[in-house]
Structure 1
Amino acid sequence: MLLDITSAFYSWIRGGLLVLFIYHFIFYLQNKEKLHKYYSGYLFCLFVYLVRDAFVNEKVQCYYQYISFSIQYVGYVFFIYFCRELTKSKIYFPILDYRAKILSRVLFLLACSLLIIQYFYGYEVQKQIVAYSVPFATFCAFYVFYLLSKRKTRQVYFLLFGSVFFLISANISSLKMIKGDLYLIDWPVHRMFYYFVGAIVQSIIFAILIGNHFREIIIKKQEAEVNLLKQSNQISQLKMIALKSQMNPHFLFNSLNSINNFVIQNKIDEASNFITKFSSLVRKVLQVTNENSISLTEELHILSIYVKLEQMRLKNGFHFKTVVDHTIDTDRLKVVPLFLQPFIENAIWHGLSLKQGEKTILLTITQTNEMVNVFITDNGIGINNSKKNKINTANSKKSYGIKIVKERMELMYEKEIIIQIKDVSEKNTTGTQVSLIFPAKTL
């Protein structure tokens, strides 16, 4: 039975390889996974080579003299691409990956050359060249194995075991074909028996391997979806915190008191103007807190409304100036909604409100390479004096507001945001400067 290459034993193995090829090829057509494309190509070449002896027709055998060796080398090319894709060598080992790619091209050229040699010189010459090319093919195999060994995972160990087992089995069959059936191992089996056994064992191992590979991908995808859901919940929570932070009861009550004072003092125009700006601010804040990002233009517009309200509330008011680099497209630059307001509020009530004389805040926005630089400079009493004069709860509130802004920005930009606050007081002047550095992203 094992001496007859057309027996049921060998037919079952051919059928198994064909079924595996069809399965992986259909899976590739459905999902466009490169792993299935390369493996189905490898299985197809393997099946075409092994089905050769199932045909007794002389014309078919004549055609097989052209392709029997070439199809093996094409199969090796698919196998190399399969290993590269499984190990992601292009990402983790780019130099080794490039060399493996070159080897695969050399093998493909060798496969094409064998067709030409068969046409001009015949099968016996082709067989001799294949015999001499075995060391090179073995070198390619061991180089691929070396590439695989760089990724120390369970999948790679399975891949190595299946590949080495098949390589040994295939070489035994090749040696028997060249040296004779009694060479090396004297068993009552056909010389291709070892090739068939190596092929089916390797295919079973690889089937398990690919199944585990995609199971891990599904698990990672599920973990990513869970993390995304957690992040979405965190964003929603931060939105609510941000809304409370921007429109806190302290600001609301003070604004209502300001309106009440205007009315008591019979300053009807001032009261009407304040109410108009206040309602506009509340409406804008409620609108943007439903957005993950807005343009810098809209952010500056909302900030201007807030500043005008604070100028009306603060005794003797203050000057506010905004300078934006002309290279910045404020309509397209993406920012976190209301990220500037907490810093301006701190500058007003922890710096300017305690200062006598002229009071100013300068907001400067520039761009360096791919980063946006925001500087908020006031000429208030300075952060060091502010810490001495203010009670702990006030400082705590200030730090909490900055922390919320930082978390919101890092969630959107997916990168650490730099926020620095320093006292810029000198001998005759006082003041504080806040600097924010974050990536420049467009809407």
Structure 2
Amino acid sequence: MKVYVKTILLFLVVLSAVDLYPQDPDHRLFEKEVGFKILKTNNDTDYDGFLAVKNRLAEPGEISEKTSPNDFYWIRLDLGDHVSKVGKDDSFYLRFNSFDHATIYLESQNRIVPKKIGKFDKNSESIQVDHSYYDSFLKLRRHNLPDDGYITLKARRITFREDVQNWSFTISNTSPNTFVTQQDFEDQVPYYFFTGLCFIMCFTTLSFYFFIKKSEFLWYSIYIVVTFVYVCGLNFGIYDFVFNNHYISYWVSQSFLFVDNIVYLFFFASFLQSKKEYPFVHFLVQVLAVLNVIILLCIGVLFALGDTIGFIFITQNAYALLNFTALLGLAYLMYVGKDPLAYVMALATSAYCAAPLVRTFYSTPEDGLLLDGLYYIIIGCSIEMVIFSFGLFYKIHLEFRENLMLQQRALFEKTRALRAQINPHFIFNSLSAIQHLVSVKKIESALKYLSKFSRLTRNVLESSMDINILLAEEIKMLEDYLSLELLRFDNSFSYTITTDEGLDPEEIEIPSMILQPFVENALIHGLLPKKSGTKQLDISFGKDNNHLICTVDDTGVGRLAAKERLHIYQNEKKSRGLEVTKLRLQSLGEGKDSITIVDKYDDNNQPMGTKVIVRIPLKIL
């Protein structure tokens, strides 16, 4: 594959070095600028009327005032002997400024025939030069030239004012659209770069909108699309494709920046929440939005009236007024900004507002419509998008942080609710134990049990105020609970609680009462139903990497036998302790592996009890 690529590249290099016309000298590129004279008139005279006053033609340098939409300009081109140098072909090409309305007078069948070549003229025979806003060309034939060697044009400029010294006319033997020069390619690079940037930003913000459902991201996506159409619409032929009319395309293209402003203002207010956070800035945003709407309405009226002079006045002055006002508002926002988001938005919007001002200030005399100055808009909007991308990710960070805090708060409330389900259950069983002792006339045991129960209840209620407690406190409550159960069941079982030497119970936090349901389950369903043999309960705490390993090991009847066998305590409660504890462990981010239950069997496959292993994330103070 690499060999093929290298071969193609080498072929292109060699091809670019070959002379395109090496054999026939008559086909070498010829290009020559043609001199001309101008006559300005205030009325639309015909060709015969011009011939009567053609002696008043003047050199371009003699006309000092700029063009006016009300004036007509007769232009007489002196081809001289230039046509003979074009070559042997009968045809040649005339390149000239793209006039809004223009007529060229050529000879046909021994009479002068007018042909429309203006950009806004219907059935215009001129062709726009590729990658140029202000140049057109026309294909001519030798036999269409008058005998005196002069070509006459009547032109009118209605879209902007310019110096006639900027006009130029060139004849050549090759169509201007035949080749794409390196300069043409370099001129297009910013537009393709901007197109890619717009696509990335539009796709990103639309994705955020569909995921987060925040209106500001939708507004920014619309702003990106409108900005792309405004900047690249003429260059990529979008306006002509939609309207198929150069005149309408001109009005729409020059008005689209105001549409862009309105969309951006909606985005700005929504993203910054200016109505709530910055009332004065929000008021200024509303004023600017209303002004842009009024300007668009005025442009619509002027279009209906065909008043290009008024349109030129509005577009030239409105850009500066609106953007200068916006920059003052952004300076105020920088002064009163409450968070980094305000500063990011102020900087990004400043780049967006400053671009049209820089474009106007640095525009050249030849760039009457400021179209060549679109590079400044590309730079300003690109800077705005880059800065906004930081603001975008910062806002996403705030959104996720807020959601995380809400989730943590919900987790805290859920954990409290889960503990609240354990505590009444534990208290109910303890009171049941007191009731049982009183019913069998064991008053002394009942009093001891009641004393321990009051202390245990106080500790449980105090611990319920916090999600976590020290391991030492958890061990103390388990000891109180088991000692109470020993009193209740006449010391019918024994227990041990051990911790590994490497653990300090005073420095480790665990969820409060996390093991009590497993201990209770081992007693009620494992040890108490056992008729004979040792009834031993061992509770141990160890460490495995970043987890605390809690083990509850009993020598009871096993889970299978517990399900099949009834006893007098089994109908006294409906326990939800294990279910609630599993939910609590899941809320800590632990999966199903957090609880492991091992059924123990002897060599004869007889049950020897149950071991429960609980893994808790280790939290050291």
1:26-45 equivalences in 2 (<5 Å): 26=335, 29-33=337-341, 36-37=343-344, 40=347, 43=350
TM-score by length of 1: 0.56
- In structure 2, the partner of 1:435 is 613
- In structure 2, the partner of 1:194 is 374
* Residue 618 of structure 2 is aligned to residue 422 of structure 1: no
Return the alpha-carbon distance in structure 1 between the equivalents of residues 446 and 430 of structure 2: 16
Cα 1:439–1:232 change in 2 (3 A) is closer
Return the alpha-carbon distance in structure 1 between the equivalents of residues 348 and 498 of structure 2: 62
1:307-386 equivalences in 2 (<5 Å): 307-355=482-530, 356-386=532-562
- What one-letter code is carried by the residue in structure 2 that aligns with 1:239? R
After TM superposition, give the deviation of residue 188 of structure 1 in Å.
2.5
Q: 1:350–1:386: 8 Å Cα contact kept in structure 2?
A: yes
Return the alpha-carbon distance in structure 2 between the equivalents of residues 200 and 45 of structure 1: 5
1:178-193 equivalences in 2 (<5 Å): 188-189=368-369, 193=373
After TM superposition, give the deviation of residue 436 of structure 1 in Å.
0.5
* Residue 466 of structure 2 is aligned to residue 288 of structure 1: no
Q: 1:18–1:44: 8 Å Cα contact kept in structure 2?
A: no
- Structure 2 SS opposite 1:373: strand
After TM superposition, give the deviation of residue 308 of structure 1 in Å.
0.7
- What one-letter code is carried by the residue in structure 1 that aligns with 2:435? L
- In structure 1, the partner of 2:579 is 403
Return the alpha-carbon distance in structure 2 between the equivalents of residues 40 and 198 of structure 1: 16
Q: 2:554–2:611: 8 Å Cα contact kept in structure 1?
A: yes
Return the alpha-carbon distance in structure 1 between the equivalents of residues 580 and 479 of structure 2: 21
Q: Deviations over 1:377-398 (max 9, x none)?
A: 111112222222148x959967
After TM superposition, give the deviation of residue 214 of structure 1 in Å.
8.7
TM-score by length of 2: 0.41
- What one-letter code is carried by the residue in structure 2 that aligns with 1:410? Q
After TM superposition, give the deviation of residue 16 of structure 1 in Å.
5.7
- In structure 1, the partner of 2:434 is 255
After TM superposition, give the deviation of residue 329 of structure 1 in Å.
2.7
- Structure 2 SS opposite 1:326: coil
Q: 1:258–1:313: 8 Å Cα contact kept in structure 2?
A: yes
Q: 1:10–1:196: 8 Å Cα contact kept in structure 2?
A: no
After TM superposition, give the deviation of residue 234 of structure 1 in Å.
3.0
Q: 1:296–1:335: 8 Å Cα contact kept in structure 2?
A: yes
Structure with greater helix share of residues: 1
After TM superposition, give the deviation of residue 271 of structure 1 in Å.
4.6
- What one-letter code is carried by the residue in structure 2 that aligns with 1:352? L
- What one-letter code is carried by the residue in structure 1 that aligns with 2:421? I
- What one-letter code is carried by the residue in structure 2 that aligns with 1:327? G
Return the alpha-carbon distance in structure 2 between the equivalents of residues 21 and 45 of structure 1: 11
Q: 1:22–1:40: 8 Å Cα contact kept in structure 2?
A: no
- What one-letter code is carried by the residue in structure 2 that aligns with 1:235? T
After TM superposition, give the deviation of residue 317 of structure 1 in Å.
2.5
Return the alpha-carbon distance in structure 2 between the equivalents of residues 188 and 44 of structure 1: 23
Return the alpha-carbon distance in structure 2 between the equivalents of residues 2 and 15 of structure 1: 24
- What one-letter code is carried by the residue in structure 1 that aligns with 2:427? M
Q: 1:380–1:430: 8 Å Cα contact kept in structure 2?
A: yes
Q: Deviations over 1:299-347 (max 9, x none)?
A: 1001101111111222443221112122223123221211111111111
Q: 2:348–2:384: 8 Å Cα contact kept in structure 1?
A: no
Cα 1:207–1:257 change in 2 (3 A) is same
Cα 1:275–1:396 change in 2 (3 A) is closer
Return the alpha-carbon distance in structure 2 between the equivalents of residues 398 and 40 of structure 1: 64
Q: 1:296–1:330: 8 Å Cα contact kept in structure 2?
A: yes
- In structure 2, the partner of 1:18 is 327
After TM superposition, give the deviation of residue 37 of structure 1 in Å.
3.6
Cα 1:350–1:10 change in 2 (3 A) is closer
- Structure 2 SS opposite 1:346: helix
Return the alpha-carbon distance in structure 2 between the equivalents of residues 188 and 415 of structure 1: 69
- In structure 2, the partner of 1:242 is 422
Cα 1:205–1:374 change in 2 (3 A) is closer
Return the alpha-carbon distance in structure 2 between the equivalents of residues 3 and 331 of structure 1: 87
1:268-287 equivalences in 2 (<5 Å): 268=444, 270-287=445-462
Return the alpha-carbon distance in structure 1 between the equivalents of residues 322 and 368 of structure 2: 19
- Structure 2 SS opposite 1:283: helix
- Report percent identity of matched pairs: 22
Return the alpha-carbon distance in structure 1 between the equivalents of residues 571 and 540 of structure 2: 25
Q: 1:20–1:43: 8 Å Cα contact kept in structure 2?
A: no
Q: Deviations over 1:127-160 (max 9, x none)?
A: xxxxxxxxxxxxxxxxxxxxxxxxxxxxxxxxxx
Decide which moves more: 270-279 or 196-205.
196-205
Q: Deviations over 1:29-79 (max 9, x none)?
A: 52124x84487179469949965986xxxxxxxxxxxxxxxxxxxxxxxxx
Q: 1:352–1:381: 8 Å Cα contact kept in structure 2?
A: yes
Return the alpha-carbon distance in structure 1 between the equivalents of residues 574 and 608 of structure 2: 19
Structure with greater strand share of residues: 2
Return the alpha-carbon distance in structure 2 between the equivalents of residues 213 and 288 of structure 1: 41
Q: 1:354–1:380: 8 Å Cα contact kept in structure 2?
A: yes
Return the alpha-carbon distance in structure 1 between the equivalents of residues 162 and 461 of structure 2: 83
Q: 2:526–2:557: 8 Å Cα contact kept in structure 1?
A: yes
Consecutive unaligned residues of structure 1, counting only runs of 5 or more, are: 55-172
Q: 2:546–2:617: 8 Å Cα contact kept in structure 1?
A: yes
Q: 2:352–2:381: 8 Å Cα contact kept in structure 1?
A: no
Cα 1:251–1:334 change in 2 (3 A) is same
- Structure 1 SS opposite 2:483: helix
Cα 1:342–1:42 change in 2 (3 A) is same
Consecutive unaligned residues of structure 2, counting only runs of 5 or more, are: 1-159, 164-315
Cα 1:194–1:216 change in 2 (3 A) is same
- What one-letter code is carried by the residue in structure 2 that aligns with 1:40? L
Q: 2:360–2:370: 8 Å Cα contact kept in structure 1?
A: no
After TM superposition, give the deviation of residue 218 of structure 1 in Å.
8.0
After TM superposition, give the deviation of residue 364 of structure 1 in Å.
1.4
Greater RCO structure (CA 8 Å; 6+ sep): 1
Q: 1:323–1:364: 8 Å Cα contact kept in structure 2?
A: yes
After TM superposition, give the deviation of residue 239 of structure 1 in Å.
3.0
